[in-house]
Structure 1
């Protein structure tokens, strides 16, 4: 089966050769690599032109003017000559066996209904120089077709286009990437694609997702607005139906729906649903979101009571440690604030809210940030 690769190119002079080398080193043969130049100010295009002289499968496509990453990806998808297209960003790299493993796994889903439309892998994060960050693996899960859309609404586990193997026809049939959607356009595309066919998950961290100042700035802007922007595309009733159509227990579906309501700033509605969370399994989450409701309503005494109760059950709850520390800091108890923040950072290296809050406490700037949802086991790195 022939494979095409699409790479949007913008200000990636420092990294693009490493990205291309990782593609050339694949144990599964690649038929063509389309690099779509989006008219950046550096020498990226010249670097690719020189590279293509040594590797004829690399073809540089030049946009008439800067149009953004979505337009560049769409141009590459339209010009690709093969059914299966591997998407890459110009600063990431992949394991030599990524494509071979993806196609082997895809063969196991040949009878899936509806047919597979993508294969997505796990990831590992690196610093700007390509050094793997400790405890930075980010894994997804294999879901049935009926569960995928709702689960992606709650937590998008496809954190980068890099390593995403797409059915080109399916991607084009849904309209490709939206060029007028400027907040988390990748995630918005993935949500639409999830309603088209089956997602296949490769549980191997074979994409090396590079963190550097330019990507961090972009990701922070997306992270701060992504949930609300994407949720505005879908009605609350549509979201609720998608969440509760999953095969998880009702209490988990309910809690995930509450999480989305909070992301959508519908705190009163979400808080009322919390009354239906019963039993011990989700008690910690219930306490956390009750506390967050009181924080949003500036009732910090009541918020503290719920956070203290939660921390008495689980003193390793990172988001609760951070939020309780912020309240201590606002009450001028810097000693307790620092102790809790240091505990949170020790438990969750790379926890940005806690790291920034600790610095704010020590410097006395009083610019604190509450964490609005419970933490993953491994955090995405923004610093």
Structure 2
């Protein structure tokens, strides 16, 4: 690896009009140079997707031989669910002749959808869980053994309300460690979904479901898109029933869409938050993708929360304003955001799947949408042609699934 190969060197020489063939060894050399020198901004990353699955498999075979000899290559992460790599380099225009081999796009940062309000005391069954009528369903379903991947900041494994609700999960930031939460957001989400401490703490929507924390977000609540894709990949490979994604971004990522689509096709339902910008016709990604369940937030009086994005692309609303749930160090916190609404919907789907295992993502989404409570203040929807989504109602949802 004495000189730096150019992008053109990663294809084998072919006559004009001939078929391009990938030179795996030169590609690895090029990636090594990118890892060694990197961009001036150390946080800049790009996603390089292989257009041909066979090329990707060939690459991984050679890659596995080179990594032990060149530690810098560990900066480059493979994302098998989309046949891609995350690389420490800025996204630039690929030469046209390489477009049949690769697609290159930015690997931007993405943030969680919530704002901390204030510390709080637990109150048994929080108001949002009462409002969606989850307690009325617990005689017939508690979400028993449904596996929920929560791609977030991790979780507080020592929280008394979560002791019986957690599996090991994975830490994508530090692979050798458990996905411990150093932010609080993931612990809050996990509590609303599956807290189970009837005597001394709070109860979540599906108290016998199992949360598998997938730590992709750092202590600031920030992650690369590639971290999210790695999280989705882990959830699919480990047979999660559903994935909670309480985060979003404004720009569309083809790589993220591909990962979401592959999860959907594998039978994994993804619940995603719409965003907290208070926009009337705008939803963040990945909630904007049709393969997800896009969730907006409501208040205690069944109105759309002022901060919630809304519009025709929302599939369902759920409580998201001033939600009390578990927090770090065994405590509780009140938070607001479409993140909090999403965790109510994820818990409800766990209740549904425990009673009706095997429902497809499309069937789950259809059941949710046709079994809602009307939102108050419908005058805000007059400017849209599509009917407004309603608020989650667990009892109606289960009745709709029984028909």
TM-score, normalised to structure 1, is 0.26
Using CA pairs under 8 Å that are at least 6 residues apart, name the structure with larger relative contact order, 1 or 2. 2
More helix by share: 1
More strand by share: 2
TM-score, structure 2 normalization? 0.25
